[in-house]
Amino acid sequence: MNVTPDTIIFWQWQWFKLNATLVYTWLVMAILVVGSWLVTRNLKVEPEEMSNWQNRLEIIVEMINGEIRQATNREPSEFLPFVGTIFLFFALANILTIIPGYESPAASLSTTGAFALCVFFAVPYYGIKHSGFGSYLKHFIEPTPVVLPFNILSEITRTLSLAIRLFGNVMSTSLLVAIVLSLIPLFLPIPVRAYGIGIGVIQAYVFAILTLVYIASGIRAQRKSQQKRQQQQQSEEGAT
């Protein structure tokens, strides 16, 4: 019974281990790269000329764009590559569990931790991009410098929660399938696996939405602090 794909070793040489997490992560990335190239190599503008795959891809892109607009109130093109990649990777990684012998790399804490780390750096990146380096740093000490360690701790803990939430849900589903398979090995694991795929896609959606929420909250925090400082300056100028 494999709780995580990290325990499945395909090849090992000294300290290096080629485990299922690495192999299946590369597999998902390869499918995304090749699939996106095949779908977008001959794009059409007229609906009647579009392929079925292009129609499906545009539906997914529009769905992600709508979520980005709702969360950030900004043009989604800036955030689509990052957020869209996160959603597509985890969604496909979990959908492929329908293939016998495949284990989702999202069931590995190293995978979810790596993506959460990307989100951790993406939040200040977008905050600094929209408000400047100085304004971004100032929001950590507002309204008082006393809250600095709490703000830093908040940034760290929400990154950890992203990684652990997705890892825990996907791993628990894989564990449930393994237990059911050991008890009733023929038909019952099929609906359980289908349930696991649905949960995996939902978790991919939740991960992407939380990423948007964290980025949007960082941008809005900088905007509010800037507006507050501008109001203070205006009031000081009016007083003089």
Return the pLDDT at 236: 58
The pLDDT tens digits for 186-204 are 555 566 666 667 777 877 8
Phi, psi of 10 (to 5 degrees): -90, -35
Q: For the purposes of burial, counting CB atoms within 10 Å of the CB of 192, is it exposed (0-12), middle (13-18) or buried (19 or more)?
A: middle
Q: Nearest-5° angle of CA 94, CA 59, CA 198?
A: 25
Residue 18 DSSP label: E
Nearest one of 108, 81, 86, 97 to 206, comparing CA atoms: 86
Return the pLDDT at 25: 93
- Any residues with CB less than 8 A from the CB of 217 and at least 6 apart, and which? none
User: Two tokens at 34?
Assistant: 């090749």
End-to-end CA distance of the chain: 74
**In angstroms, rounded to a whole number, what is the distance separating the alpha carbons of residues 174 and 4?**
8
- Any residues with CB less than 8 A from the CB of 89 and at least 6 apart, and which? 28, 29, 32, 115, 204
Return the pLDDT at 222: 55
The pLDDT tens digits for 77-92 are 889 999 999 999 989 9
Mean predicted lDDT score pLDDT of the chain: 78
